[in-house]
Amino acid sequence: MSELLWDEPTFIGKLREVGAGIYHDKHPFHVVMNEGRLSPQAIRGWVANRFYYQINIPIKDAALLSNCPLRDVRRIWIDRIIEHDGREGNEGGIEAWLRLGDACGLSRADLLDSRNVIPAVRFAVDAYVTFARTQPWPVAVASSLTELFAPDLMAKRLEAFKTHYSWVQPWGFDYFSRRVTQARKESDYALKLTLTHCNTPALQKAAVDALVFKCEVLWAILDGIAGKFPPTPPTT
C-alpha cells in the first residue's frame, strides 16, 4: 500500500510532536542551567562551545540557498544570514553572542579561536552544515523548525540568567532577548515553506526526520558540553 499525503494539521502535528519529545530544552544540562546549578566555568564553557554553532548558522543557510532554485525564497531566506552576520552599523547575532561572552568574562579571542571547541560539539555542528549542503533544500528548511520551540526556551533562559547568574553582566543578554521575537518570525516562514514544498509522502517524512536530526544535533552539543562541564550537585 502506498503512503498517503498528510493533511496540513496532521503534518504540523507530526512536526510539533518532535519538539515535544526531544527538543533540547529537556536535556539535563539545560534543566540544571535553568535551576541555577552551573558554575561560572560551566557557563563560560557553554557560551564558548555554543559559539561554534552560532558562527556556523550563516554557513548552513548559505549552503541551503546554494541548492534553492527559487528566487523568491532566496530573497527572504538570505535575511537569516544577515541576521547573524550583521551589517556595518547593525549588530548581528554573532556580535551579540560575542557580547554575551564578554559579559561572562570571555574575550573575543577566547570565542573566535575555535581550537578549544569540544570535539563532540565540532562533530555535531559540522554534521548539521553537511546536512544542509547535501539534502534537498525543503528538507534542509524543515531542519530549522526547531525555531518553533525556541521562543519559550529563550524566554526561560533569559529569566534563569537574570535570576541565578547575577555575575553575568545584563547587557550581555541581547541575543536572548532578540531571539524571542526573531525565532518566531523565522519559524513562521520556514513552516510555510515546509508545508508548501514538502508535498509528497516521501518529502513529508524526510521533513520530520530532518527535524529529528536537528534536535539530535542540539542534544549532542549539550552532551559534549555536559561531559566537560558537569553541573554542581543540588543542595540538600
Q: Which domains does the chain have, with CATH numbers?
A: 8-227 (1.20.910.10)
Which amino acid does the sequence have at 152? D
Handedness of CA 33, 150, 98, 216 (dihedral sign): positive
Q: How far apart are CA 108 and CA 58, in angstroms?
A: 19
Q: At 233, is the secondary structure helix, strand, or coil?
A: coil
Residue 9 CB neighbour total at 10 angstroms: 8
Task: Give per-residue pLDDT as tens, 18-62.
Answer: 999 999 999 999 999 999 999 999 999 999 999 999 999 999 999
Single-letter code of the amino acid located at 181: T
Q: What percent of the chain has pLDDT over 90?
A: 83
Quote the pLDDT of residue 234.
57
Tell me the whole-structure pTM to 2 decimals: 0.94
CA Rg value for the chain: 18
Closest CA to 218 of 52, 83, 87: 52
pLDDT at 120 exceeding the cut of 70: yes
Q: Which three cell numbers stand for residue 151?
A: 521562543
- DSSP string of 3-63? PPPPPHHHHHHHHHHHHHHH-GGGSHHHHHHHTT---HHHHHHHHHHHHHHHHHHHHHHHH
Give bridge partners of residue 87 from the DSSP assignment: 90
Encoded amino acid at 128, one letter: Y
- C-alpha to C-alpha distance for 110 and 41, rounded to whole angstroms: 13
pLDDT in tens, 80-116: 999 999 988 788 999 999 999 999 999 999 899 888 8
In angstroms, the CA 59 to CA 84 distance is 10
State residue 1's pLDDT score: 43
